[in-house]
Amino acid sequence: MSLRDIVTLPDPVLRQVSKPVERVDSEARKLWDDMLETMYDAPGIGLAAVQVGVPTRMLIVDLAKEGEERKPLFVANPLITWSSEAQSDYEEGCLSIPEFYEMVSRPSEIKLSYVGWQGEAQELHATGLLATCLQHEIDHLNGVLFIDHISRLKRERVIKKFAKAQKLGKL
Ligand code: ZN
């Protein structure tokens, strides 16, 4: 496993629509492993491949708290097959938008079909934080960021802030 660099706002790769994974092979599993190490190091609870600059439909989630046993969920080619009408609000953050947090409302429960670690078809009924986290990561695969779900004013403010920071970093 090796650490990869996390892409941050305003890098345009974050707005790309990721391509489906053709085969879950050793190369794909190597990417998942690297993503996992990168996410634990950050630390974070979810990471999409595009956040390490690889626009392919792969993500990982692990909600285990520090000190708890790690329980990574490896997801490729996810498809949300059902979303509840009921919504939940969570304060979200993103490793690609460091130190910025906002409340986001999303369906409280989802059903998901996806391809797992061995290339096997999987289904999952997710609720609570897991449902929110999966929706956040699946958004990434479609070039969507959590700031797209907040008010335009707040979104423009954070985009401006990161664009300015990037500019200053390049001087
Ligand atoms: Zn994110």
Per-residue pLDDT tens over the stretch 67-102: 899 999 999 999 999 999 999 999 999 999 999 999
Structure tokens at 64: 């285990």
The C-alpha atoms of residue 76 and residue 159 are separated, in whole angstroms, by: 29
Per-residue pLDDT tens over the stretch 3-37: 999 999 999 999 999 999 999 999 999 999 999 99
Task: Examine the pLDDT at 170 and tell me if it is beyond 90.
Answer: no
Tell me what the mean pLDDT of segment 114-131 comes to. Answer: 98
Which residue segments constitute the domains of the chain, with CATH numbers given?
12-167 (3.90.45.10)
115 Cα: distance to centroid of ligand 1 (angstroms) = 20
Amino acid at 89: D
Catalytic residue of the set 37, 85, 123, 137: 137
pTM: 0.96
Task: Give the pLDDT score at 26.
Answer: 97
Task: Assess whether 137 carries a catalytic annotation.
Answer: yes
50 Cα: distance to centroid of ligand 1 (angstroms) = 10
Q: DSSP string covering 32-84, please?
A: HHHHHHHHHHTT-SEEEGGGGT--BSEEEE--PPTTSPP--EEEEEEEEEEE-
Closest of 112, 106, 93 to residue 39, by C-alpha: 93
67 Cα: distance to centroid of ligand 1 (angstroms) = 23
